[in-house]
């Protein structure tokens, strides 16, 4: 059984999960289980401190997606899930990863289950390109990024952060900009994801110096590697 986070959920132990109804696919735990072949290791495409990401193919039109399953044994995973839901609730930008569905409920064994479903990025994370031999990221052909590609990626990331800082209803500080949270689509356009440590800082405030340093540091790191 799975509760979809369209307006609020039946689970009273956590705040209401609010995401736009019309923008989300209606997916259950069972459909995600099937899409990822039982969350098979062969479908694993990424691992983070708060969970694992699996490639999945939905029955609905055969759409290929990325399913981030939270590791709820981690004491901060639920808080990360809530932060990501809140951050993604009202943001839309070409350089942000698009969320397709959110699921919060229980698996077949009655264990709590939380997952976010994203549009799959064909060229995976920037980390895979910069560190192709990293065993945690799976097998990936040895490739390299040209200086122009690195510059374009940095511009894409800067554009996403500028939007989060200055053009959202409430400014958002991402809090975890690194190569594992920058994803590349089929045209090598960069998309920022991984909002588990993000912070909303209010309508009447602007991001502080730390956020600006974060943006500039990301730019330098991508271009110079």
Pairing of strands 182-184, 190-192: antiparallel
- Kind and range of the H or E run holding 115: strand 112-119
Q: What is the C-alpha separation between 209 and 118, in angstroms, rounded?
A: 30
Extract the tokens encoding 55: 């490639």
With b for 16 or more beta-carbon neighbours within 10 A and e for fewer, the 178-190 pattern comes to ebbbbbbbeeeeb
156 is catalytic: no
Query: Among 59, 107, 176, 204, which one carries the catalytic annotation?
Result: 176
Q: Which residues pair with 3 in a beta bridge?
A: 104
CB atoms within 10 A of CB 103: 25
Q: What is the C-alpha separation between 157 and 55, in angstroms, rounded?
A: 23
Instruction: Supply the residues annotated as catalytic.
Output: 176
């Amino acid at each position: 059984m799975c509760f979809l986070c369209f307006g609020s959920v039946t689970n009273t132990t956590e705040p209401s999960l609010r995401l736009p109804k019309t923008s989300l696919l209606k997916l259950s735990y069972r459909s995600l289980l099937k899409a990822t072949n039982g969350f098979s290791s062969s479908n694993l495409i990424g691992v983070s401190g708060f969970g694992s990401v699996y490639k999945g193919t939905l029955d609905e039109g055969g759409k290929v997606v990325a399913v981030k399953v939270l590791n709820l044994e981690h004491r901060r995973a639920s808080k990360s899930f809530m932060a990501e839901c809140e951050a993604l609730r009202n943001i839309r930008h070409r350089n942000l990863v698009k969320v397709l569905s959110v699921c919060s409920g229980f698996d077949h064994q009655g264990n709590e289950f939380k997952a976010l479903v994203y549009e799959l990025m064909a060229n995976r994370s920037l980390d895979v390109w910069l560190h192709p031999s990293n065993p945690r990221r799976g097998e990936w052909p040895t490739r390299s990024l040209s200086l122009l590609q690195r510059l374009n990626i940095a511009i894409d990331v800067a554009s996403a952060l500028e939007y989060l800082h200055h053009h959202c209803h409430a400014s958002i500080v991402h809090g975890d900009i690194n190569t594992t949270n920058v994803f590349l689509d089929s045209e090598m356009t960069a998309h920022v994801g991984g909002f588990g440590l993000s912070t909303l800082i209010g309508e009447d405030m602007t991001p502080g110096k730390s956020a600006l340093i974060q943006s500039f540091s990301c730019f330098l790191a991508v271009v110079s590697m």
